[in-house]
Amino acid sequence: MSVQERKERERASRERLIVASARELAEQQGWDAVTTRRLAERIEYSQPVLYSHFRGKREIIGAVALEGAAEMAAALRAATSAADGPRARVTALARTYLDFAARNPAVYDAMFQLDGGLPFADEDTPEPLKDAFAALLESLGEVAGDGVHPGLFTEVFWAALHGLATLTRAERLPPEDAERRTELLLDRLIVL
């Protein structure tokens, strides 16, 4: 292994450490607790080393969002591949999406609530974000209905899931009705 390859591997390892530490700190204490000073202390590197990887918190949030999008896409595909039939796939997708949002609130916020400097719905959208949308589209496109654009249907269904996820977490909706809300969403939007 060349010196250059070793340095690149060490740099990639430090970057993964920064992202993992930011994610862990955000999940434990919220994104307000994630500062470059605290991250530098946590990873035991100086702030200039941290800044050699990320220009600031915004880019760190973006890196966490991309990691989360890849994880969400994998979880959605795993859940839907195990389901039999369109209705079962969409049900698995909805439950997996809502579960991911509930289990990973800081990552979910990085993906959809905070400014991570990432463009959405654009040709410059990073691949992990495109792939997460594709994971939704794969199951939702098949149930969009006649004359309904699959991408547009996926956006509407995704918006409904996002609303349920954020309102439930903010305790704006009674938790005892969570399952009934999901079933109502499926019953009203999925016409088979």
The predicted structure's pLDDT at residue 192: 62
Least confident among 3-17, 94-108, 154-168: 3-17
Mean pLDDT over 142-148 rounds to: 92
pLDDT classification of 158: cutoffs 50, 70, 90: very high
| Nearest one of 35, 45, 42, 59 to 10, comparing CA atoms | 45
| Nearest one of 87, 93, 78 to 160, comparing CA atoms | 93
Mean pLDDT over 13-20 rounds to: 96
Element (H, E) at 122: none
Cα torsion 120, 121, 125, 130: sign: positive
Mean pLDDT over 139-144 rounds to: 94
The predicted structure's pLDDT at residue 190: 81
Which residues does 96 contact at the CB level (< 8 Å), separation at least 6? 75, 76, 78, 79, 80
